[in-house]
Structure 1
Amino acid sequence: MVTLRSYQPNDGPALLALFRDTIRRVNSRDYSPPQVAAWASDDIDTVQWFGRFAGRFVPVAEEDGRPVGFAELEPDGHIDRVYVSADHHGRGVGRQLLAAVVAEARRVGLARLFTEASITARPFFEGQGFVVLAPQVVTLRGVEFVNYRMERVLAEPGAAADGGGRSAFWRS
């Protein structure tokens, strides 16, 4: 059974491994080998990569004590990284993570969520109520990628407010 919990600093290495493996096994369907190599590089600065979790709402999906997915919500409504283990795709883990992000966004009164979705992730986000604002080309480690600027307007910001407690998707 997959449950959600909050990010802990010692999750960093396992989440980085999950990130790389997902890109190499899943995103490789939509991106070229040079793009995958740049994106899931073995030369990622781990201190910087782990440091990006600070100050963000980060639910971690866990099964049998192991992380199988994670998402990140920045205070301004930007959803940065959402990754689900290749072995857990199609099992609702991404929907659970995004539901937790949406609940938190509503709890803190955000009016909209936005992201830059990969070609691979675009259908997932569209299925969760996001719309494409525009395709864009970004460069990472000297390699160009196409992704999509997307947003989801939250109809009633604050409607899910719970007086400052954790969302229903959370366990201690």
Structure 2
Amino acid sequence: MPGENAPAIRPFRPDDAEALGALTLAAIRETGARAYDGDQVEAWAARHTDPRRFRESAAKGDTILVCTDEADMPTAYVLMERHGHVDMLYCHPDHGGKGLAAALLARIEADARRRGIARLFAEASEIARPVFARAGFKQIHRRDFALEHAGAAVPIHNYAMAKTIGEKRED
């Protein structure tokens, strides 16, 4: 994304893991609270407390791209598994609305094309669904399910979304 206003995007480094973990929890607890209730937010957050996940994903060959600020601190990131599953897309609440998620999705799509991946897919939260839609992902269906948390099954939802990238798009 050329231009002086383009966000700084770089590959994940192992020393990013703790910052990405904190960013994820802030995004879920602050931004997620705009669409989900307190129990849902805490059940969702509880699934993202171990920053080792980022190092393990990178070691398996998953792609993690990180947006950074002027001090090279992570402000947003995307994690795409090797088969095209966009597993995580989070932006720190202090950096929302700046086009970081859109820039990350564009870069991950370009990476997927280079690797011969024909289809990207994700389970987008209520908050992320419009971001994915603007990037050309189509909603397949709403997913209603429960997360086990604090001895209870907490009902929550997200959206199965996909984008075919192996063919030329006609706009």
TM-score band, normalised by the shorter chain? 0.7 to 0.9
TM-score (norm 1): 0.84
> Judging changes above 3 Å, is the alpha-carbon distance between structure 1 residues 58 and 146 closer, same or farther for their aligned structure 2 residues?
same
Deviation at 1:89, TM superposition (A): 1.1
Provide the residue aligned with 1:128 in structure 2: 135
Provide the residue aligned with 2:161 in structure 1: 150
2:67 pairs with 1:56 = no
Q: Do the aligned residues in 2 keep the contact of 1:106 with 1:156 (CA within 8 Å)? A: no
- Cα deviation, 1:124-157, whole Å, max 9, x if unaligned, reads 1111101111111233333221101000011537
TM-score (norm 2): 0.84
Write the distance in 2 (CA, Å) between the matches of 1:109 and 1:63.
Answer: 31
Provide the residue aligned with 1:95 in structure 2: 102
> Judging changes above 3 Å, is the alpha-carbon distance between structure 1 residues 22 and 10 closer, same or farther for their aligned structure 2 residues?
same
Runs of 4+ with >6 A deviation: none
Count of matched residue positions in the alignment of Structure 1 and Structure 2:
157
2:9 pairs with 1:9 = no
> Judging changes above 3 Å, is the alpha-carbon distance between structure 1 residues 75 and 17 closer, same or farther for their aligned structure 2 residues?
same
User: Percent of aligned pairs with the same residue?
Assistant: 36
Q: Do the aligned residues in 2 keep the contact of 1:57 with 1:72 (CA within 8 Å)? A: yes
* DSSP 3-state at the match of 2:77: strand
Of structures 1 and 2, the one scoring higher in RCO (CA 8 A, sep 6+) is 1
Write the distance in 2 (CA, Å) between the matches of 1:45 and 1:137.
Answer: 25
Deviation at 1:10, TM superposition (A): 1.1
Moved more, 98-107 or 148-157: 148-157
> Judging changes above 3 Å, is the alpha-carbon distance between structure 1 residues 33 and 143 closer, same or farther for their aligned structure 2 residues?
same
Within-5 A mapping of 1:23-38: 23-38=28-43
Amino acid of the structure 2 residue aligned with 1:148: Y
> Judging changes above 3 Å, is the alpha-carbon distance between structure 1 residues 46 and 60 closer, same or farther for their aligned structure 2 residues?
closer
Alignment RMSD (CA, Å)? 1.9
